[in-house]
Structure 1
């Protein structure tokens, strides 16, 4: 593997982001009475957090 990993997402940070975002999304889904949407939002939050951490 070449050293081109700098622009790829760090899977550990992605996992951490999803670990934070998913419970938030599920809690939101319970509040909105729509768990499926909450999980989808949680994954989006997690991916966004993971991407944000990878940039820094």
Structure 2
């Protein structure tokens, strides 16, 4: 989530020029990345 938050803040400041829009975008990006990594670990049989 921290990677997504940092990317979201950067995109929010550059594209929308508003940090308030960047934080929710970054949160959703972070959740998506985390869910993908969790699914990959589960498929490989690793414990989370």
TM range (shorter): 0.7 to 0.9
- Quote the Cα distance in structure 1 between the aligned partners of 2:20 and 2:36: 24
The runs of 4+ residues in structure 1 deviating greater than 4 Å are none
Q: Distance in 1 between matches of 2:23 and 2:2?
A: 12
TM-score, length basis structure 2: 0.76
Aligned counterparts of 1:33 and 1:47: Cα–Cα separation in 2: 23
Pick the aligned partner of 1:55 from 35, 39, 44. 39
Q: Which consecutive residues of structure 1, in runs of 5 or more, have no partner in the other structure? A: 1-17
Count of residue pairs brought into register by the alignment: 39
The runs of 5 or more residues in structure 2 that have no matched partner are: 41-48
Q: TM-score, normalised by structure 1?
A: 0.66
